[in-house]
Structure 1
């Protein structure tokens, strides 16, 4: 009997998720990690998106996004927060769909902000950045004044340093910059980890003035 229950539990846990987790994000546990992403699956579209045209011929709701989805995130390096699992199912949304954020064989890992609530993990919309690794093995995220990192504390921007393209393998960053222009600045992941350890931000405090 016990064996049957264990088998049933394993089967149940292996079933793909069917709905997007809903919880108060401000009370969630914030986790920042370096990870690779692999394709998962789209979730059912919101019922609002399939609302029929009313009797006057008016459509009450139009969804411009693809449905929400989940991907598999494989942890490579913890930066902030506790995460024992080596891989998690990560839920998020994107106007461009899943294909724009999953890793191809040539793609680099990413730095992610993850909100944890029990066994549910949600990445706020677009809360991720490409990770560049130097020839010496140090990790950076590109930084541009025109595209601030809204999903980390504002003070993280002060950690930026100039980057020299010669310090990085060409096969590692050129795939992400179609004009073959290397980012002028980067922020070391080590410095981000140290800053977050000092600040100890909650989920409600971790962004640079943005709602999560």
Structure 2
């Protein structure tokens, strides 16, 4: 009798968990592919910081770049109209770690824009730390507010520093940088000396261990430490900037 009762209780718990998990995953931002780029007022939305992997992306329809045009002005000057970059995109992403801000479920659709066009998708592409803004019905990844994450052997996510502080994070985030060792990561973080010379050379030498044939990053910010730092700090858009470079000694 007791065994039968136990089995029935376990079955009931499993069945009850199903709808709960579905409800959690059924984020209002995961229902459908965005058709338009909604209105997002700076400073008035709800911010969220997450680590997420992009699983699908494409360009929004109807935002194609018009052809370049020239117009002669009465004063003899010419006005040239042209696109500075590709049109806006939508993307779908799966959340791997919620860092701070509003809970938006387990997956979501969002819109964004970039001079580089749509983000790449595939197993070789790293997950990213993303700053998202909600207008209540849709999500926007703020322009250029993302950074690739690297996973250490213990399963933790890290923001590997490439060329100075990550300037879209708050200034205090730079104090979370810590020295890393290649052995902590399954992936090889080294880049060739030729690539290093072409990208940064001596300007960012303090952030690399440089040898004759390679350069390896010296610092990373553990996302867990960033998450801890945000526990007592509300997410305010104005705080997500640290333009002046911070020296590393």
State the TM-score, normalized to the length of structure 1: 0.78
User: Aligned to 1:29, which of 39, 46, 51?
Assistant: 46
The alignment's C-alpha RMSD in Å is 2.8
Unaligned runs of 5+ in 1: 1-12
Highest CA radius of gyration, 1 or 2? 2
Q: 1:120 aligns with which of 138, 144, 148?
A: 138
Q: Secondary structure at the match of 2:81?
A: coil
Kindly state the Cα deviation for residue 41 of structure 1 after the two structures are TM-superposed: 1.9
Does 2:239 align with 1:205? yes
Task: Pick the aligned partner of 1:134 from 147, 152, 155.
Answer: 152
Task: Give me the whole-angstrom Cα distance separating, in 2, the residues matched to 1:31 and 1:165.
Answer: 31
1:55 to partner: Cα distance: 6.4
Secondary structure at the residue paired with 1:20?
coil
Shift of 1:65: 0.1
Residue 163 in structure 1 maps to residue 197 in structure 2? no
Partner of 1:3: none
SS in 2 for 1:124: strand
C-alpha distance after superposition, 1:30-71 (max 9, x if no partner)? 111010013322123378x45754466955421120001111
1:183 — aligned with what? Answer: 217
How many residues align structurally? 192
Gaps of 5+ in 2: 1-30, 197-213, 245-249
CA distance in 2, matches of 1:117, 1:183: 37
What displacement does 1:102 show? 2.7
Aligned to 1:95: 115
1:23 Cα deviation from its structure 2 partner: 2.1
Give the superposition deviation at 1:143.
Answer: 1.7
Q: Secondary structure at the match of 2:238?
A: coil
Q: Give the TM-score of the pair, scaled to structure 2.
A: 0.67
The alignment partner of 1:199 has SS state of coil
Partner of 1:196: 230
1:154 Cα offset (Å)? 0.5
CA distance in 1, matches of 2:167, 2:138: 23
Change (3 A) 1:199 1:94: same
Give the SS at the match of 1:166.
helix
2:164, 2:88 → 1: CA distance?
A: 24
- Between the aligned partners of 2:68 and 2:138, the Cα distance in structure 1 is 28
2:58 alignment partner in structure 1: 41
